[in-house]
Amino acid sequence: MVNATQSFVRIAAAVVMLVCLSSPAMGEQRFSVGYLEAGPFWLFNEDMAAVNAYLDGQGWRDKVSFPEDAWLSPGWEEQEQWEPAARELMARDDLDLIIAAGTAATRALTAVNNQNTPILSISVGDPLAAGFVVSLEDSGIDNFTTRLEPDRYPRMFDMFHQVVEFEKLGLIYQDTESGRQYTNVDDARRVAERRGFEILEYDSLASESVEDCLAALRHLIQQGMDAFFIPSLNAFDWEQSDADQVLGYLRREGIATFARNGSRDVQAGALMGFSTVDFSQRGEFLARMIIRILEGVSPRSLNMVDAGTPKISFNLAVAHEIGFNPPFDLLAATDELYQDIVLPENRLVK
C-alpha cells in the first residue's frame, strides 16, 4: 500500500512533468528587445523583417520578444516626442537590447544613453558621417553598435556621374544635421569636386511633403539642373506620400535620377540606383549582432563593417522616357534591369 509520502512525491513529479511539457525548455533564456523609430518608414520594416527571418531560421525568434509597450514610433511630425520616447526606453530595467531604427531615433537614444542597455542602430545611411561612431573599427561607446557600409554613398555619386555625365546635380534637404544626412550632402560635395560637376542645393525645405519637394525641384530646374539624387525624404516614401507625383514630374522634365534607397524606386520610376531587393544579407548581419549581444558580448567589440559589393539597378523605360541612351557596358554590368515602370502595390495614392 502506497503511503502518504509516496503519493505526495508522485503527485509533485506529475505536476513538474506537466509544467515542463507546457513551458519552454528548462534553462532556456528569454530576451526582451525594445524598438524606437521616429516614424514609420519602409526601409525600417524591410530590415526588421529580414532580421526576424534570420532569427527564426536560427531558432532564435522564440527566444526574443518585442513588448508592445516598448515598441515606440512617435511620428515624423512629433519631433519633441523623440527624445522623451528614447528616455522612456532607457529608463526601463526589463530590456536586454534596444533597436534604434534610422538617424533620428539613433540620435535621440544616444543623447539619453544610460551607458548600460545595449543599443543597436539599424537603417542609418552613414553612421560614421553622422558622428554615431568614431571609426570603422570602433563605435566609441561600450553599449552601442551599428552596421557600416564604407563608401557606399560616394560610390553612388561616382557611378551616377560616370554613367550619365551630368553637369548640374540637384540636392534638396532641410538644413539640419539629420536633413543633410538623408541627402548625403557632404559626400556629394566631395565627389563633385573630384569629378568636376556642379551641385545645385536647395536647403530650405519647409517640410518633407510632396508639395514642398515639387516646389524645390521646380526651382532647381530653373537653375539648370540636369540630374537629381533622390534622398530619403517622406515625399519619396511610397507608404507615406504619393511619390509618383514627384518621380513623374522629374521624368517629364527629362531629369536623370539616382535613387538613394535603391530597387523599389528604380522599378517605380527612377533611372538607376544600387540594388536593395534582397535584404537577407543585411538582415543576417544585423541578426548575428543581436544574437551576440544577447549572448553577453559587448556591442562595442563587434565588427560593424558589412563590406558587400553594391549591385546596379536600372530602368530602361525611364531611360527611354527621358531620352537617355545607356552605354552598353552599363547594361552588361546591371544586376536588375527593369523593362517597365511598375508602381508598388502598397503605395499611398491621393
Grid cell of 102 as nine digits? 534610422
Q: Is the pLDDT of residue 308 over 90?
A: no
Q: What is the DSSP letter of 253?
A: T
Give the mean model confidence (pLDDT) for residues 11-20: 39
Reduced to 3 states, what is the DSSP secondary structure of residue 320?
Answer: helix
Q: Is the pLDDT of residue 11 over 50?
A: no
Q: Over the stretch 243-283, which tens digit does the pLDDT of each residue have?
A: 999 999 999 999 999 999 889 999 999 999 988 656 888 89
Using the structure block, give the residue that is written with the C-alpha cell 509516496: 6
Contact 32, 65 (CB under 8 A): yes
**What pairing do the DSSP bridges indicate for beta strands 312-315 and 336-338?**
parallel
Q: Over the stretch 323-350, which tens digit does the pLDDT of each residue have?
A: 999 998 898 889 899 999 999 988 887 6
* pTM, full prediction: 0.74
pLDDT for res 278: 65
Band (20; pLDDT cuts 50, 70, 90): very low
Query: CA-to-CA distance for 125 and 152, rounded, in angstroms?
Result: 9
Band (303; pLDDT cuts 50, 70, 90): very high
Task: Give the max Cα distance, the chain.
Answer: 101
Please enumerate in sequence order all residues whose Cβ is within 8 A of that of 297, keeping only pairs 6 or more positions apart, or say none.
Answer: none
Give the mean model confidence (pLDDT) for residues 312-333: 94
Query: CA-to-CA distance for 215 and 201, rounded, in angstroms?
Result: 13
The average confidence (pLDDT) of the chain is 90
Q: Is the pLDDT of residue 7 over 50?
A: no
Name which of 256, 335, 298, 15 is nearest 140 in CA terms.
298
Band (33; pLDDT cuts 50, 70, 90): very high
pLDDT for res 254: 98
Q: Is the pLDDT of residue 13 over 60?
A: no
The alpha carbon torsion through 324, 213, 248, 331 (nearest 10 deg) reads 30
Query: CA-to-CA distance for 45 and 307, rounded, in angstroms?
Result: 22
Q: Is the pLDDT of residue 61 over 90?
A: no
Helix or strand (DSSP H, E) at 337:
strand 336-338
Using the structure block, give the residue that is written with the C-alpha cell 522599378: 267
13-20 long-range contacts, CB within 8 A, separation 24+: none
pLDDT for res 21: 38
Radius of gyration of the chain (CA): 24
Q: Is the pLDDT of residue 22 over 50?
A: no
Q: Over the stretch 67-105, which tens digit does the pLDDT of each residue have?
A: 999 999 999 999 999 999 999 999 999 999 999 999 999
Give the mean model confidence (pLDDT) for residues 304-330: 91
